[in-house]
Structure formats: C-alpha cells, structure tokens
A and B are shown apart, each in its own frame.
Chain A
Amino acid sequence: MAIHHAAVKKSVTIDRDLLDRLGIERTRNFSATVNESLRMLAALDAQQALVEEWEAEHGPFSEEELRPFLETVLRAQIENTMRALAEHRAASR
C-alpha cells in the first residue's frame, strides 16, 4: 500500500522568466517539481540545524577543521560524476 502524505494547497507567485526556463518535464507536473524542490530545501535546513545546534553548544568549527571534509565531499562528487559519465558513454556505444 502506498504511503500518502497530507497535502495542502498554497497560492504562490512565481517569476515568469523562471517558469519559462524550466524544462517541459518539470512543468508537466508542477506540483511534483515544487514538492521535490521544497523537500530538498527542508532536508538541507534540517542538516544545517544539526550543525548549528552543535556549534551553539561547542563553538564554531574552524576552517582548518572543515577543509578536509569539504575536500572529501568534493572528491566523492567528482568521482561519482566521472563514473556516471563513463557508464553513459559505454551504454551509448
């Protein structure tokens, strides 16, 4: 059985040029696009809250502490993108 989340209708105003720049797949089901975008923002807010709560109690992280973690995340992103590109190329041969 599928899980259904309660939904509410909201009236929003969107910049016309922003709407025009969206791909057709994103505008075909606009509610799904909005939900997906908001879900991402909510997840980022929740992660940021975990960090801010910690820093409020223990003091802010220094740049030296953060740098190796940023490097790890970026390296993972690069490796993942290269893997996906290689798979895409192999599939299209």
Chain B
Amino acid sequence: MTVDTGWVIAAERDPRRARLHLAALTGLGQVLVVSPVVIVEARQRAGDVGRVDYILARLEQESITPEDGRRASDLLREAGRQSGDPHRRVHQIGLADTLVAALAERLCGIVYTGDPQHLGWLRDAGARITVVPVPF
C-alpha cells in the first residue's frame, strides 16, 4: 500500500488513529510504503518534524525509478488533456501526487490519500490504482 503526504500529516495530527490503521494493516499482512517525495512534502508541511520523522523512519521506503518518472509524466499529461484547462489541472495535481500514483501502480495499486481528488484525476487518466481516502 502506498501513502501520500496527506496520510503522514494526518498521522502526525492523530497518532492514535494512525496506529489503529497500522494495527489493521499489519494484522492483515499489509505494508505501507512511503516514497522520497512524500518524505520531502511531509517534513515541509509538518507541524512537528520530529513526530513525522519518527513515523517515517519506521515505514517501508521505496525509491522512485526513472520508469516511475516517465509513467508519472504520461499520467500528468493525460490528466491535463482530459480537463478543460490542462495547465491549471497539471498544477493542481502536482508532481508529488503524480509520482505517488506511478509508485502505487508499480506496487500493489492501493494508495491511501488525504486528497482523493488529485489521485482520482490520475486514476481517470489511466493510472491503475485504487484510491482510498485516509480513514482517520
């Protein structure tokens, strides 16, 4: 399972429910994965970097590959093309969520997100992902 920055920020704000989510995932044998772009964004947006670092250090981390970059580029381009205002849509989605979608597609397909709209646009653009709102 991949997470976007929204999951990490939600975990910082509500650590108890984040642990409940982790307990459920672990009990069902599922692993959360964070990417470098999520680490950058989460540390940037965190109210308390130490709390975010504490969680990030214990989650599985996965690199972004050049293939992920190419896939993200295709998805972003298509998502822009599907909207009335491609330039605006591309900026709304942003690089980080697009790379998260590409990584999720390469892993199991599920992405827990604090912003289902952005990931939904990428799914509609062809990303083979299942978009799940952060459940806390």
The reply on B39 being an interface residue by CB < 8 A is: no
Contact among A39, A46, A65, A73 with B30 in the assembled complex (CB-CB below 8 Å)? A73
A65 & B26 in contact (Cβ 8 Å cutoff) = no
Question: How many interface contacts (CB-CB < 8 Å) are there between A and B?
Answer: 83
A84 & B26 in contact (Cβ 8 Å cutoff) = no
A50-93 interface bits toward B, Cβ cutoff 8 Å, 1 = contact, 0 = none: 11001100100100011011101110110110011001000000
Give the nearest-CB partner of A83 in chain B.
B130
| CA gap between A15 and B85 in the complex, in Å | 60
| CA gap between A73 and B131 in the complex, in Å | 12
- Evaluate whether A61 and B58 lie within 8 angstroms (CB atoms) in the complex, with A54-B15, A79-B130 already known: no
Interface residue ranges of B30-84 to A (CB < 8 Å): 30-32, 55, 58-60, 63
- A-B contact list, 14 entries, CB within 8 Å: A3-B63, A44-B26, A44-B31, A47-B32, A47-B58, A50-B55, A61-B19, A69-B21, A70-B24, A70-B28, A73-B21, A76-B112, A77-B110, A83-B109
